[in-house]
Amino acid sequence: MQNKFLIEIKNPFSFGRVFCLLCLLACSVFTKAQPTLSFKKYKENFGFVKKGEVVKMEFHFTNTGNQPLIITDAKVECSCTTVEFPKQPVAPNQSGVVVVLFDTKTVYDRQDRIVELLSNAKPVKIRFKGVVLK
């Protein structure tokens, strides 16, 4: 009986195949049931604006996953940017809007900013850029 045990240890393919199969099964179970935040456009160019204007940009999205999407926070690069997002869960295949307000009173010249949205899906980055004239 001891020799049989040694033979099984020397043949790792049977254990490796079973282990890989279990890993693939676990990954498929955990990745299938999740929300997905998909935007129509991930980048917006607001063009040229005068210093002091507040630029409003709307980013339309859809939850393309199979679980409700809950946006919890938005990280911005500076205090000149504020973000409004749905506070209620967004059901699968439903749409929503993220509104980005960019106050130009303290900035000028070329602007290129990123907003990171945190939710129960993968973090998503949206971007806006343009030129603020003096």
Which two structure tokens, joined as six digits, stand for 103? Answer: 């106050």
Q: Do 76 and 109 share a domain, yes or no? A: yes
- Tell me how many domains the chain contains: 2
Give the pLDDT confidence of 100-114 residue by residue, as tens digits: 999 999 999 999 999
Does 27 lie in the same domain as 59?
A: no
Strands 71-75, 43-50: pairing is unpaired
The residue segments making up the domain with residue 86 are: 37-133
Cβ contact 64:89 at 8 Å: no
Contact, 115 vs 125, CB < 8 A? Answer: yes
Task: Identify whether residues 23 and 86 lie together within a single domain.
Answer: no
Instruction: Report the CATH number at residue 53.
Output: 2.60.40.10
* Sheet strands (E) in 33-133: 37-39, 43-50, 54-63, 71-75, 81-84, 95-103, 109-119, 124-133
Residues 73 and 117 occupy one common structural domain: yes
Least reliable range by pLDDT among 8-22, 54-68, 97-111? 8-22
Helix/strand/coil for 78:
coil
The whole model's pTM is what? 0.75
Residue 28 has pLDDT above 50, yes or no: no
Please check whether residues 20 and 74 belong to one and the same domain.
Answer: no
